[in-house]
Homo-oligomer: A and B are copies of this chain.
């Protein structure tokens, strides 16, 4: 696939849920969310942008294990959905700053809920897993 910025004719680019409901809107809203941020990296990117905007490589350093390519792809996808804004400062060498849009910031709430749930139940999760693997 040629990565086109303009994603001709509804190219998925990043899509988790199989292509059901072409664009009908009866489906459960969870699907809608997961289709947009349900991939491997999107949530982590949004999470790391909520404090303050970050430049490309700074963001990259925050998200351990993400490749340059995947960060680019993920950012494009988030930009496309209006969750992240991209701002280029016309200097040399170029500076590109990524920030959450208002829409993106509003998603940070639910994401934090997930995060704090994880923090609260981290021990329980590990215990459950250990018990299951032992038993």
Contact = CB atoms under 8 A, between A and B. Distances in A.
B125 A36 contact: yes
A44 interface: yes
Contacts of A28: 47, 115
Q: Please indicate which of the listed interface residues A25, A44, A114, A119 has the most CB atoms of chain B within 10 Å of its own CB.
A: A114
A82 to B, nearest CB: 3
B18 A117 contact: no
24 contacts: A6-B132, A17-B40, A20-B65, A29-B115, A30-B47, A30-B118, A32-B118, A32-B119, A32-B125, A33-B115, A33-B117, A33-B118, A34-B43, A81-B128, A82-B127, A83-B128, A103-B121, A103-B124, A103-B128, A106-B121, A107-B121, A110-B110, A110-B117, A111-B114
Interface of A: 6-8, 10, 16-18, 20, 25, 28-34, 36, 38, 40, 43-44, 47, 64-65, 79-83, 103, 106-107, 109-111, 113-119, 121-122, 124-125, 127-129, 131-133, 135
